[in-house]
Chains A and B, each alone.
Chain A
Amino acid sequence: MSEVIGESTTTTAVQFSIYRYNPDKDEAPYMQEYTLNVPAGVDTMLLTALLRIKDEQDPTLSLRRSCREGVCGSDGMNVNGRNCLACITPLSSLAKRPIVVRPLPGLPVMRDLIVDMEPFFDQYKKVKPWLQNENPPAKEHLQSPQERELLDGLYECILCACCSSSCPSFWWNPDKFLGPAALLQAYRFLTDSRDKGRAERLKDLSDPYSVFRCRSIMNCVDVCPKGLNPTKAIGKIRKELLKEEI
C-alpha cells in the first residue's frame, strides 16, 4: 500500500484482482488488475470500492448489489478465497493484497461477478419453504413465546448463497444435495409449531443425498454473514429423522 497526499485528503492505493468473464466476448475467464485510491482513515466497504472501480475506471465490470447493508443478499462473492457479502466487508478486514475478487464458487458464471442462482433456488424450492397446514385457523395462528423462540437462528437467512456455494458437497452434487441454506430453511419449517407437514417433509429428506451428503466441515458456519449455523440445523434434521424412523 502507498499513501498519496492530495489537496485536502490522504488516500491509500489498494490493489484489486477481479475475475472477468463476458461469455459474448471472452473465450475464457481472466483476472484483471485495478488500483483504487481510497480515503485513508475511512473504513471503506468492498462494495463501495467495487462500485467506484465500475464508475471511475471500468463501466463494463458487472456485479449484483441492492441494499448495501447486508440485508438483500445480492452481493455475495468470493474475496481472498472466502465467501462474503461485499457491502458489509470492510477493506481493513482483508489483509491480503491484491484483494482477489471472484464470483461465488460452484455456481455457473453469467458475467464477471454475477452467478446464475437457479441451481441454488431450485434446491430452496425443494424444501417447500412455506407453511403446510390444510386446516389453518380462521383468524391468527398463535404461537407461544417458547414456540416462536425455536425459529430464532433459522428465519434470519437472507439466501445470499454464501454458505451453499462454499460447501464442497454442494459443488459435487448441486442437483442432489440440498445445501446448507435450503436445509436451514427445511429445519425452520420442521420446527415451526404451525406447520403440519412434518411427516412428508422428513420423508422428502430421508434419501442418501438431500441431507446426508453434509460432512459437517462447517464452511457454511464460517462464512454466513448473518452468523447462522446451518450445520447445527442439519444435525437437528438428522435427529428428527432418527425420531421418525426408529
Chain B
Amino acid sequence: MVESVSSWSRNGLRDFLLQRLSAVVIAAYIVTLVFYFACHPALQYYDWESLYTASWMRIFSVLTLLSLIIHAWIGMWTVLTDYIKWILLRGLVQAVILLILSICFIWGIMILWSV
C-alpha cells in the first residue's frame, strides 16, 4: 500500500467515487441551467435574481462549487503526481493550486450570498 498525504481522502476508492459523484453534480447543474435558459429565452435581471435568491438554487450552487473544487483537486493531484517528479516543485505547485481553489471557493460563496 502506498501512503499519500496530499490526495483528497488518502483512499483510492473514495477519491475515485468522489471524482465521479462530483462530475454528476456538475453535469446536473449544467443541465438545470440549460433547461432554465431554454424556458426563459428573454432573460432579465429580475429572472436572474429570483433564480439565485431561491434557497434550492443557493444550496445547489454551493454544492456544485464544492464539487468543482473537489473534482479539480483530485484531477490536478493525479496529473501532478504523474508528471512532476521533483518533490519540492510538486509540493509547491500543489500548494499554489490548493490556494487558488480555496480562493475560488470562498469568492464563489461570497458572490452567491451577495445576490
Q: Interface on A for B, CB 8 Å cutoff?
A: 169, 172-173, 176, 203-213, 238, 241-242, 245
The answer, among B4, B7, B12, for a CB contact under 8 Å with A211, is B12
Nearest residue (CB) in B for A169 is B82
CB <8 Å contact, B16 and A238: yes
Query: Please, which residues of chain A bring their CB within 8 A of the CB of B16?
Result: 212, 238
CB <8 Å contact, B1 and A238: no
CB <8 Å contact, B13 and A210: no
B3 within 8 A of A: yes
Query: Please, which residues of chain A bring their CB within 8 A of the CB of B15?
Result: 208, 212
CB <8 Å contact, A212 and B13: yes
Total contacting residues, chain B, CB less than 8 A: 17
CB <8 Å contact, B1 and A208: no
Query: Please, which residues of chain A bring their CB within 8 A of the CB of B11?
Result: 206-208, 245
Tell me the complex Cα distance, A203–B2, Å: 11
Tell me the complex Cα distance, A210–B11, Å: 11
CB distance from A214 to the nearest CB of B (A): 10
CB distance from A187 to the nearest CB of B (A): 15
Contact with A along B73-91 (1 / 0, CB 8 A): 0000010011100000000
Tell me the complex Cα distance, A176–B12, Å: 12
Query: Please, which residues of chain B bring their CB within 8 A of the CB of A245?
Result: 11, 13-14
Nearest residue (CB) in A for B15 is A208
Tell me the complex Cα distance, A46–B11, Å: 44
Nearest residue (CB) in B for A126 is B1
CB <8 Å contact, B1 and A203: yes
Contact with A along B1-36 (1 / 0, CB 8 A): 111100100111111110000000000000000000
Tell me the complex Cα distance, A172–B11, Å: 20
Specify which of B2, B4, B10, B17 lies most central, judged by the most chain A CB atoms within 10 Å of its CB: B2
